[in-house]
Amino acid sequence: MKNKRVLFFILLCVGAFVQAQETVRPFEEFFVEGMKKIDGVFPVYVADGEVYLEIPSEYIGREMQISAQIDRGFDLLCRPANGLGVVRITSPTEGTVCFQQPFYMERILDTESVYQQAFSLSNVQPEGISYPVVSYSGERGAIIRITEYLLNGDEWFSYQYGFIRSLVPALSEVVRIHPFDEGVSFTVKRYHGVEAERYMYSSSAIVLPDGSMPLEVTCVLRLLPQKKDRIRLADNRIPYRTLHFKDYSQDPYCMVEDSLILRWDLSKPLTFYVDTLFPQEYFKAVKSGVEAWNGAFRKAGLRHPVLQVKYADRRVVSAEQSAFISYDLRMPGVKSSLTHHPRTGEILSCRLNIGHGFMEGLLDNYLLTCGATDSRIRTDRYSKEVAKELLQNEVTREVGHLLGLSEVRSKAVCNGPLKVGEEDERAIYFGYVPLKGTGNCYDEREKLRRWLGDFHAVERPEDYAVKIVHLQTVLSQLDKIVYKEKAARKSSSLRELYRKAIQLYASYLAGIAENIREGQPAEVQHQAMMNLDKYLFHPTLEMECDYVKANLLENRNDLLYPEVRKLFKRLLQKNYIRCGYPEFFQDLYKGLFNGFNPELKISYAQLDIQLLCLEAWLDVARGTSSEHKYVTGCLENELHGLYGKLKELSVTHSQMEVRELYLLFLQRIEQYFRSVS
């Protein structure tokens, strides 16, 4: 019975193979009257709504990238889509073409390794997506049908946006086929369902007809050049985006986990084309933002202008370009994306999308952070000059990510555009400096590590004290800055800016508190507590706008106090108690509780903060798990001491309202002691 099953399976496979052979038609039968051929790297045939792609025989074994972008539709312009990526073209059997996507998680990078052959035999890759050959051309090029993959499929490309709904397959059509030097592109017009926003939450019982909107998508097939893999291995001190893999050639006894960096092949300049619809008044800012990195490349030994920026003309097909910058109305902000080769880490293409409607937020933040020193933004809250600088800064940061950096460490400054700093220049050097005379990627990394020496990135502390002073300066005159504007903006602008200012103040306080942590010197932690005393417990100048307070436009405490409570909870966590700073509670009592001196006056705001501290203290004590008994014991011991001091002050303090409130504090503490006893 078993032999019969095996025989049946063999006959089935043979029958399928014979059937596949029979589907391959002679070219004379395939190339019917009216069929159009478009010559190029990949010849294309079109007839009766069907699209066929020819894979020349000499490209079998070569690599190709399949990428895509949304050209226009749904208020999107030149937004990236998810493409299939890099594939290897294979033909395992007559009548079949496969797009193989090998796995590169396990490798032997050393081509001269004695294990290379054995590894290749054991690391057999799957064939990938299979396409039946319809016919062979006179030059023995394999012709495959690709209509469905372009019109309605999602195997080659896909996109996911909540506002783009289901596809209407019957309406899809290929509107342009464009051959270029490296491949061919197909522009497809698809129609997707859409629902008007005004009807989205309607309670009407009327059933409205389904609507659809066009979406133009371009799919690009690019033949990748044959060249030696130029891999550069990573070093964890330099912040690059990386590909992780397991290497079997570094150690003869075990596998070694390693990473390689993502980077461009910059043997020729990289040109960023800017969409023709991009506002001309901001073109210079974008150009300067991109070209800001050229100085770092010069220091890395690349003398020609590596990054160039040009306006695209109508002849430029955006989807075919390696680097493209566009502007649209759908999603605000500056977003970047890139594609890369999964084996080498070479960056193959990138997109920089600038969405309308984000500059106001940047200008607001700049006003609050730099308004004290930059009169331009105080004079004109929507200053074009400042707006262009801020856009340039955003572009510079995103281009850093597009060059392969996982983190851009250059910091923006007030009164000028962002400049690429020393640490980012070092990163560019590490990734892009041409190295001659090195045998392989391991030798390159060792040479670069010798160049790095004992370098370790040093985190430069933020001066939050200065930031708070600057914020106080701006907030005190916020109404005068806002009310220079047109009347239409007055009603809400001041309130919104005020909220942002208080949130920023809370973030500065949290930044100060971050210095009270394990690993920081005791003097740094002590200074942080002094700053909390100066800018929160006993502020010389209250963080307030008198106009907002007088006109009851917003309640500062409703915005600030929840964040202050979070701050105290972080301070009282285990890492802050066991951090080599024994004077923590001493400084806390001296600042927040006036050293328990009954003669010193306590403001209502200070009483509020004391209550927030106590509530956070009790929350942390209740939430501490049994495995951290030291923390619980530390908090409870200090709480007993605090209880005794407050009990004494509830009788002796010179202010009656303080005595009454401390009685409330004592009740809260007593409730906790009863709950844990």
Most confident among 153-162, 355-364, 500-509, 636-645 (mean pLDDT): 500-509
Cα distance between the two ends of the chain:
76
Integer Cα distance of 588 and 526 in angstroms: 10
Residue 3 has pLDDT above 70, yes or no: no
Integer Cα distance of 384 and 128 in angstroms? 53
Q: How many residues does the chain have?
A: 677
| In the predicted structure, residue 123 carries a pLDDT above the cut 90 | no
Whether 564 shows a pLDDT value over 90: the answer reads: yes
Choose the weakest-confidence range: 160-169, 631-640, 656-665: 631-640
**578: confidence class by pLDDT, cuts 50, 70, 90:** low
DSSP string, 187-227: EEEEEEEE--HHHHT------PPPEEEEEEEEEEEEEPP--
pLDDT tops 70 at residue 533: yes
For residues 88 and 63, the answer to whether their CB atoms sit within 8 Å is yes
Contact between residue 71 and residue 275 where contact means Cβ atoms under 8 Å apart: no
What pLDDT is stored for residue 677 in this prediction? 76
| Angle 228-229-234 from CA coordinates, rounded to 5° | 150
Within 10 Å of residue 47's Cβ, how many Cβ atoms? Answer: 15
Residue among 621, 531, 522 at smallest CA distance from 569: 621
Report, as an integer, the average pLDDT of 139-157.
Answer: 94
DSSP letters spanning 555-588: -HHHHHHHHHHHHHHHHTSHHHHTSS-TTHHHHH
| pLDDT range class, residue 14, cuts 50, 70, 90 | very low
Cα separation, 230 vs 174, in Å, equals 37
pLDDT at position 160: 86
Per-residue pLDDT, averaged over 509-537, amounts to 91
Rounded CA-CA distance 244/238 in Å is 15
Side-chain-side CA neighbours of 141 within 13 Å: the count stands at: 18
pTM of the complete model: 0.88
Q: Which of 188-202, 393-407, 434-448 tops mean pLDDT?
A: 393-407
SS3 content of the chain, % helix, strand, coil (to 5): 45, 20, 35
**Mean pLDDT over each residue of the chain, to the nearest integer:** 89
Q: What is the pLDDT of residue 220?
A: 98
Q: What is the pLDDT of residues 468-482, one digit of tens each?
A: 999 999 999 999 998
Q: Quick check: helix, strand or coil at residue 177?
A: strand
pLDDT digit string, tens, across residues 419-460? 999 999 999 999 999 998 777 899 999 999 999 998 887 777
360 compared with 677, residue with greater pLDDT: 360
Q: What angle do CA 49, 164, 358 make, to 5 degrees?
A: 130
pLDDT of residue 208: 44
Give the Cα separation of 88 and 182 in Å (integer). Answer: 16
Percent with pLDDT over 90 in the chain? 69
Rounded Cα–Cα distance for residues 40 and 44 (Å): 8
3-state secondary structure of 501: helix
In the chain, where are the structural domains located?
2-199+209-226, 256-452, 461-570, 593-677
Does 628 have pLDDT greater than 80? no
| Strands (E) located in 512-632 | none
What amino acid is encoded at 512 in this protein?
I
Instruction: Tell whether the model's pLDDT for residue 85 goes beyond 90.
Output: yes
* CATH code given to domain 256-452: 3.40.390
Confidence check: pLDDT of 21 > 80 = no
Closest-CA residue to 448 (of 229, 230, 238, 228)? 238
Q: Which residues partner with 622 through β-bridges?
A: none
CA 608, 613, 614, 619 torsion-angle sign: positive
pLDDT of the residue at 195: 62
How much of the chain exceeds pLDDT 70, in percent? 90
Average pLDDT over residues 106-119: 76
> What does the pLDDT look like over 246-303, one tens digit per residue?
988 888 788 899 999 999 999 999 999 999 989 999 999 999 999 999 999 999 999 8
As a whole number, mean pLDDT of residues 495-517 equals 95
Q: What is the 3-state secondary structure (H, E, C) of 321-358?
A: CCEEEEEECCCCEEEEEEEECCCCCEEEEEEEEEECCC
Q: What is the pLDDT of residues 636-668, one digit of tens each?
A: 888 999 999 999 999 999 999 999 999 999 999
Contact between 392 and 413 (Cβ < 8 Å): no
φ, ψ of residue 584 in degrees (nearest 5): -55, -55
Predicted local distance difference test score (pLDDT) of residue 16: 41
pLDDT at 574 (0 to 100): 59
Q: What is the dihedral of CA 517, 520, 521, 525, to 10 degrees?
A: -40
- In this predicted model, which residue has the larger pLDDT, 207 or 214? 214
* Interatomic CA distance for residues 106 and 361, integer angstroms: 46
- Report pLDDT digits (tens) over 222-236: 999 999 889 999 999
d(CA 553, CA 493): 11
And the tokens for 274? Answer: 């800017």
Question: Cα–Cα distances in Å, from 669 out to 203, 486, 643, 660?
Answer: 52, 53, 7, 15
| 295-346 pLDDT per residue, tens | 999 999 998 889 999 999 888 999 999 999 999 888 888 999 999 999 999 9
